[in-house]
Amino acid sequence: MASRTIENYLKQLWLQQQESRGKYVPMGKLAALVGVTAGTATTMVKAIADSGLAKYAPRAGVRLTRAGEQLALHVLRRHRLLELFLVEILGIDWSDAHGEAEELEHVISETVLARIDLLLGHPSVDPHGDPIPSSSGTVEAPELCSLAELQAGSKTAIVRIMDQSAEFLRFAQTSGLVPKAAVVIEHNNPQAGAISARPDGKPPVILSMAAAAKFLVRPCPTAGKQRRKRS
Ligand SMILES: [Zn+2]
C-alpha cells in the first residue's frame, strides 16, 4: 500500500483531472487541494514522478500516468465503499461519513474491503451518488446536468451531490434534495440568480444558481445543452 500522503496526492490529482479534462494540473492548484505550500507539493510530486505514478512538467504541472490513475481509482473505491458502509450499515450520518472515510481509506485491508463490497451487494454509487470505481480500476461516467440548467416545469431526479461539506449535506438532507429524490422545478430565474425546486413530498426550496449547480440530475433538457461528463 502506498503511503497515506501519496494516496491523497493521487486522489486529489485524479479528481482535479476530471475537472480539467486530463490536462496537467498546475502545482499551485494541487498544493491548495492537498493543503500544503507549492514548494512542499513540488517536492512530493517529484518523488511521485520518480516512482512512475505521475508525469511532472516544471511549467505545466503534473498529470497521473496510467499506473497512478489505477492507484488513485483504488483509493476512491475504498473511500466510496467505506462511506456507503458507514451510512448504510453503521447508521452514521452521511454528513460525518466523508471525514471518517478519509481516515479509514488508507488503512483498510483488501480482505475487509472485499467483505464490505459483498455485504453491500457490489454497489455502483456511494451515499452522495458518486460512482464507485470497480476493483479492476474502471469507473462509470454517466451524462448528467445540474438543477441550474432546468426550465420551470421540468421533472427530474437527483443523482449526485457535488459538495460534500458536512454543512451542505445537512442542508441537502433537511431540504429533501438527496440522491433518488424526484424534483419539480417551479421557477428558474437567471436574472435573479435563483431557482425554486420542489422535492417530492417536501416544501419548495429556493436555491442560488451556485447551489443548484451542485445537484446533478437526470433526465436532462433534451436539446442543445452541453452535457458534463462526470466520473
Ligand atoms: Zn467522501
Domains of the chain: 4-64 (1.10.10.10), 76-139 (1.10.10.10), 143-229 (2.30.30.90)
What distance in angstroms lies between residue 193's CA and the mean position of ligand 1's atoms? 29
What distance in angstroms lies between residue 83's CA and the mean position of ligand 1's atoms? 6
Q: Identify the band that residue 18 occupies on the pLDDT scale cut at 50, 70 and 90.
A: confident
- pLDDT tens-digit readout, 34-73: 999 999 999 999 999 999 999 999 999 999 999 999 999 9
What distance in angstroms lies between residue 98's CA and the mean position of ligand 1's atoms? 4
Mean pLDDT over each residue of the chain, to the nearest integer: 92
Strand ranges in 58-209 using DSSP code E only, listed in sequence order: 61-64, 143-146, 155-161, 182-189, 194-199, 205-208
Contacts of 163 (CB under 8 A, 6+ apart): 169, 214
3-state secondary structure of 36: coil
- pLDDT tens-digit readout, 94-138: 889 999 999 999 999 999 999 999 999 999 999 999 999 999 999
226: number of Cβ within 10 Å: 6
3-state secondary structure of 73: helix
The pLDDT, as a whole number, for residue 229 is 55
Q: Mean per-residue pLDDT for 209-222?
A: 91
What distance in angstroms lies between residue 181's CA and the mean position of ligand 1's atoms? 20
CA atoms within 13 A on the CB side of 180: 3
- pLDDT tens-digit readout, 139-166: 987 889 999 999 999 999 999 999 988 8
Task: Give the predicted TM-score (pTM) of the model.
Answer: 0.86
Q: Mean per-residue pLDDT for 18-27?
A: 86
Q: Which three cell numbers stand for residue 229?
A: 461528463
What distance in angstroms lies between residue 101's CA and the mean position of ligand 1's atoms? 6
What distance in angstroms lies between residue 151's CA and the mean position of ligand 1's atoms? 30
Q: Identify the band that residue 231 occupies on the pLDDT scale cut at 50, 70 and 90.
A: low
What distance in angstroms lies between residue 16's CA and the mean position of ligand 1's atoms? 15
What distance in angstroms lies between residue 128's CA and the mean position of ligand 1's atoms? 8
